[in-house]
Amino acid sequence: MSEPVIEMRDVAFAYDGGGRILNNVNLVVERGDYLAVLGPNGGGKSTLLKLILGVVQPVAGRVEVFGRNAAHVASRVGYMPQLNDASRLFPVSVLGVTLMGLIGATSRGFLFSREEKERAEAALDRVGMLEYRDRRIDRLSGGQRQRVYIARALVSGPDLLLLDEPTASVDAGGRTALLDLLAELNREMTIVHVSHDLSVVAAGAHSVACVNRTLHFHDRPEITRDMLMMMYGGEPEGPCPVEVFAHGDVPHRVVAHCEHCHVHDEAEEGAER
């Protein structure tokens, strides 16, 4: 059997002097998987990515990426952090942003070779942004900017892509196009995609991890009722917290029963009456 891309065993994590942000985390991500990571604000999703990247270390348990300590496999991992206004306003060109994905891989700081520039152009071409290579990053739309940051994560030629909210502040049309792009990239690399947007589950994900202090793994791309409650609130015995959650071309999804939380869905309740 092939080695897992990510393996987390009994992992716990706390920031300095604080309580545990994550506890009892067990996760195995196989090669070629597309894992959607869902959860409420502050549930620990970004921290989970930082553990996989090796930029923070667990206080208990172990994290291995490609069978090794995460810090030793950085060149095989592409990372797109959650964006904020500061990253948007930084006055640098699209090509410059993409080349930043090579800093660390080169000992020459901001000096890049012709070959490295060609690699950055190829990454921009891959995400459909090559024609914007000389434009300033703050003069792009939200969806265009996200594509450039994906190119920056791709430029080192990773086998594993970690994405933190890549569809945030992208409109519905742009979001569909971005999710299509990620599904295409998944043919060549394993993807872990943190999202507040449930449409990733219907679009390209193969499995789902629900993260809220601990992690529940679902091996199918299915939206369960407790996922909806985790994202949007609601009581286990109360009505479903979301009336309509899919529009347009998204295939019809049935909200499934989750084994972990013993919640009855409405169909079951109806059958019991």
Ligand X SMILES: Nc1ncnc2c1ncn2[C@@H]1O[C@H](COP(=O)(O)OP(=O)(O)OP(=O)(O)O)[C@@H](O)[C@H]1O
Torsion-angle region of 163 (φ positive above 0: left; ψ -120 to 50: alpha; else: beta): beta
Kindly state the tokens that stand for 160: 């594993």
Q: How far is the CB of 218 from ligand X (least distance, A)?
A: 17
Q: Pick from 7, 35, 36, 46: which binds ligand X (CB under 6 A)?
A: 46
H runs (alpha helix) in the chain: 45-53, 85-89, 94-99, 114-126, 142-154, 172-185, 199-203, 225-232, 266-272
37 binds ligand X (CB under 6 A): no
By beta-carbon proximity to ligand X, the closer residue of 18 and 109 is 18
When binding is defined by CB under 6 A, the residue of 45, 147, 216, 225 that contacts ligand X is 45
**How far is Cα 231 from Cα 198, in angstroms, rounded to an integer?**
9
Is residue 135 within 8 Å of residue 94, measured between CB atoms?
yes
- Measure the CA–CA gap between 8 and 29, rounded to whole angstroms: 9
Binding residues among 163-222 for ligand X as defined by CB under 6 A: none
Q: Which stretch binds ligand X (CB under 6 A): 43-51, 63-71, 226-234, 265-273?
A: 43-51
The DSSP string of 204-261 is T-SEEEEEESEEEEESSS--BHHHHHHHH---TTS--S-S----TTSPP-PPBP-TTT
Whichever of 44 and 166 has its CB closer to ligand X, that residue is 44
Total chain residues near ligand X (CB under 6 A): 11
Binding mask 6-25 for ligand X (x = CB under 6 A): ---------x--x--x----
Interaction between residue 44 and ligand X (CB under 6 A): yes
Candidates 23, 47, 167, 176: give the one binding ligand X (CB under 6 A): 47
Token couple for 63: 């994290």
Nearest distance from residue 166's CB to ligand X, in Å? 13
Query: Closest CB to ligand X among 191 and 230?
Result: 230
Instruction: Go through 204-225 and write b for each residue having 16 or more CB atoms within 10 A of its CB, e for each that does not.
Output: bbbbbbbbbbbbbebeebbbbb
Please identify, using beta-carbon distances, which residue of 8 and 127 lies nearer to ligand X. Answer: 8
The least distance separating ligand X from the CB of residue 231, rounded to whole angstroms, comes to 10
Which of 10, 24, 42, 138 contacts ligand X by CB under 6 A?
42
Helix (H, G, I), strand (E, B), or coil: what is residue 21? strand
**Which range of residues in 39-47, 116-124, 173-181, 197-205 is near ligand X by CB under 6 A?**
39-47
Query: Residue 44 and residue 33: Cα distance in Å, rounded?
Result: 21
Sites of contact with ligand X (CB under 6 A):
15, 18, 21, 39, 41-47
